[in-house]
Amino acid sequence: MALADRLADRLAVINAVTPSGSLTVVGTGIDVGGHLTPQARVAFAEADEALYLVADPIAVALLEELNPQARSLQGLYSHGASRLDAYEGMVDEILAPVRNGKTVCAAFYGHPGIFVYPGHKAVLGARADGFRAWMLPGISSLDCLFADLSIDPAETGCLVQHASDFLARRVHPDPSILLVLLQISVIGEPGAVEAPDWSGLTVLVEYLEEFYASEHVVIAYEASPFPVLEPTATHVPLAELTNADLTAGMTLVVPPATAPPAPDPSIRALLELRRAERLSET
């Protein structure tokens, strides 16, 4: 049998055992016009079922223009109800058409796999059921943060964590590395809310003051969703953070307060020894 025939046979077998539905989960970025990748754009436009969860009406307009059948997942939030229940509902909503043999694309603002519970869950759920599923990366608020604030996380290292988890687990930050805490406007709030609740921020500040001086300058940051706006970056002493003009989507950036530890000469010596051993073996 010729190679082409054998490949065709093999493809036929694969197609016979692989269900026809598929899922692509994409990120729209923060500024959907500039951040939506060509691959994500095509996946969304060509999907039988296109679902989205984005944060501004311009993004909605663009996505509905790309795929006129597109529909929002926002209605699954229920005021005061558990957000986790809403996310499980989103996963079900995404997977149902996949199981019906449809080509599905779900778009989330930012990166669909960074602080997006239903993103990975939907992809893994589809794969567990035997469907083909992919995640295409997007530009997250963290990517914008590093660009806008001229910070390279390689300089000191970086701890990124959900503000509530950081506080609840009493994580001990290393003051020599960059600390980034997300979702500071809903600390400790498990439900879907219609407005920020800053009460938890006072508790977070008190906790951070165990590791940082009250006058240590921190940055409350929010990426710009529109190309006509600058990002918001409010520099304020830690103790004054709760009095600052804050917005719902802000991320807290705590720059390093101390110099990093000096490189350990014994580690360098060990690395050189191992390298020499590897070279002598070859």
Q: Provide the annotated active-site residues.
A: 83, 87, 109
Paired residues of 233 in beta bridges: 221
Rounded Cα gap, residues 47 and 53, in angstroms: 16
Q: Which CB sits closer to other proteins, 129 or 197? A: 197
**24 to 53, contacts with other proteins by CB under 8 A?**
31-34, 53
# binding residues, other proteins (CB under 8 A): 55
CB closer to other proteins, 195 vs 259: 195
DSSP secondary structure code for residue 142 in this structure = H
- Alpha-carbon distances of 125 from 77, 137, 211, 228, rounded to whole Å: 21, 18, 41, 39
How many residues are listed for the chain in this entry?
282
Shortest approach of other proteins to residue 161 CB, angstroms?
Answer: 11
Selected from 149, 151, 159, 193, the binder of other proteins by CB under 8 A is 193
Report the C-alpha gap between 223 and 5 in whole angstroms: 53
- Amino acid in the structure at residue 214: S
Strands of the sheet containing 178-182, edge to edge, are 158-162, 178-182, 251-254, 217-222, 232-237
* 166 is a site residue for other proteins (CB under 8 A): no
Q: If binding is defined by CB under 8 A, does position 61 make contact with other proteins? A: yes
172 binds other proteins (CB under 8 A): no
- Position 173 contacts other proteins (CB under 8 A): no
DSSP run (H or E) holding 112? none
What is the contact surface with other proteins in residues (CB under 8 A)?
A: 31-34, 53-62, 72, 74-75, 77, 79, 82-84, 87, 108-109, 115-119, 162, 164-165, 168, 182-183, 186, 188-190, 192-194, 222, 224-230, 232, 247-249
